[in-house]
Amino acid sequence: MRGFSARATVEAALAWIDAHARRLGPETAALDALHGRVLAADLHAAIDVPPFDRSAMDGYALRGAETDGAGEYNPLSFAIAGQALPGRPFEGTVAPGCAVRIMTGAPLPAGADAVVPAEYATERDGRVEVTAPLAPGRHVGRRAEDVAAGALLLAAGRRLRAQDVGLIASVGLDRAAVVRRPAVRIVVTGDELAVPGTAKGLHQIYDANSSMLHGLVCRDGGLSAPMLRVADRAESIREAIVAPGVDVVLVSGGSSVGSEDHAPGILAQAGELAVHGVAMRPSSPAGFGRVGGTLVFLLPGNPVSCLCAYDFFAGRALRILGGRAPAWPHAVRRAVLTRKIASQVGRVDYCRVRLGDDGAEPLALSGASILSSTTRADGFVIVPGDSEGQAAGTAVDVYLYEP
Ligand code: AMP
Ligand code: MG
């Protein structure tokens, strides 16, 4: 065993990821699978929406100019020539002095240019009395007022909201080209690990990291391949790392310099170990690199380190591959520290904090094995490498765990 001789800065580690993670190519997804996906190409509308002028109210379609002077004390009377319903238009032309009963969404009949809402109209014996003046165009939804044929509907790179998918459907499309989701293999190492839900031996602990990583991968738009739990044997770990078929491999545990820490040597031999050891706390024994086109992240086994190393490095890579914004996906809240956070120049700290009425209370800086420090916390504060810490009363950005 030998300790780390030097540790990469977080900045240098992120720079390697930004230089080596590339957006994946496109695939086609059906309408109902588009929510949350990232558009791979600009989408243009082929048709107008709405495709015809239509009524925006239940009422009477007529020539607006003919209602000039109408009022409570001067009702104007029109002959009812028929009716227009959504999907069942009035086929004729509305002649002068006439009106057509019309419902919201029905095509505006030829000849008419305005709709009198039902509240300003009283129907009796085949005629309607109108008690308000209507300018031409009133209560009419114009053809193409929502989307014009040929217009840019949504731009490449857009992460689709539910209403974006609705808009795509509204122009008649049933699919779109989206960025492929990164396929991720989670490899969990550790002879001491037992599978949750099974009986365990006295000196075993339950595997907390694989389920946690699965959730993080889903959050960042990745597709988890079936997870692999492997023993601390170089050959098993090598097979799990080099097996083809995924864009990213996450290895939990065995990332450091102990006698059972096989993964760094395997990665160096099979491909490239670009970073091993990072000047941060927790997660300093993290590493990463690549085998062919696959990015491989070595995440320390201590659960808080595993979470933190994933969030700093692997998550960013996944988001870049999937075409998302690389930055932290957490919501940020500005808060004042209730106590100081001590740090060291040259080291980035990931400090769990709880938000209260007085501000952000630091809970834990060390204790990489205490996963409950992250469940009691509302979020975390990052103390940058060039800082000796943050004094009580300093306003800081709190990254919230809750989306
Ligand atoms: P390692 O990085 O493999 O040296 O593990 C560091 C510490 O994290 C040890 O105490 C392990 O028992 C623990 N650990 C490793 N993997 C897991 C896991 N999947 N779930 C919970 N604890 C783990
Ligand atoms: Mg281990």
CB atoms within 10 A of CB 302: 23
Query: For residue 354, how far is the Cα from the chain centroid?
Result: 25
CA distance linking residue 322 with residue 26, whole number of Å: 10
Q: Return the C-alpha torsion angle 7, 15, 293, 318, nearest 10.
A: 100
CA distance linking residue 299 with residue 189, whole number of Å: 10
| pLDDT tens-digit readout, 320-353 | 999 999 999 999 999 999 999 999 999 999 999 9
Q: Where are the alpha helices (DSSP H) in 101-197?
A: 162-170
The domains of the chain are located at 10-24+181-321, 28-49+147-179, 54-141, 332-400
The predicted pLDDT at position 5 comes to 81
Cα three-residue angle 262-6-264, rounded to 5 degrees: 15
Domain 10-24+181-321 identical in fold to domain 28-49+147-179:
no
Nearest atom of ligand 1 to the alpha carbon of 208 = 20
Asked whether 195 lines ligand 1 (CB < 6 A), one says: no
- The fold adopted by the segment(s) 28-49+147-179 is Molybdopterin biosynthesis moea protein, domain 2 (3.90.105)
Helix (H, G, I), strand (E, B) or coil at 134: coil
The percentage of residues in the chain with a pLDDT greater than 90, rounded to a whole number, is 97
Compute the chain's Rg from CA coordinates: 32
Q: Which residues contact 372 (CB under 8 A, 6 or more apart)?
A: none
Q: Which residues contact 108 (CB under 8 A, 6 or more apart)?
A: 52, 53, 54, 55, 61, 84, 102, 115, 140
Helix (H, G, I), strand (E, B) or coil at 15: helix
Asked whether 282 lines ligand 1 (CB < 6 A), one says: no
The predicted pLDDT at position 85 comes to 98
CA distance linking residue 77 with residue 88, whole number of Å: 25
DSSP β-ladder status, 183-189 and 228-230: parallel
The pTM of this model reads: 0.93
CA of 283 to the centre of ligand 2 (A): 14
Segments in the chain below pLDDT 50: none
- Structurally, at CATH architecture level, domain 332-400 sits in Beta Barrel (2.40)
User: What is the 3-state composition of the chain as percent helix, strand, coil, each rounded to the nearest 5?
Assistant: 20, 35, 45
The predicted pLDDT at position 1 comes to 63
Largest Cα–Cα distance in the chain?
100
Asked whether 107 lines ligand 1 (CB < 6 A), one says: no
Pocket test for ligand 1, best of 188, 189, 205, 298 (most atoms within 8 A of CB): 205
- Ligand 1: residue whose CA is nearest its atom 14: 301
| pLDDT tens-digit readout, 263-309 | 999 999 999 999 999 999 999 999 999 999 999 999 999 999 999 99
- Structurally, at CATH architecture level, domain 54-141 sits in Beta Complex (2.170)
- The fold adopted by the segment(s) 10-24+181-321 is Molybdenum Cofactor Biosythetic Enzyme; Chain A (3.40.980)
> Residue 39 half-sphere exposure, CB side, CA atoms within 13 Å?
20
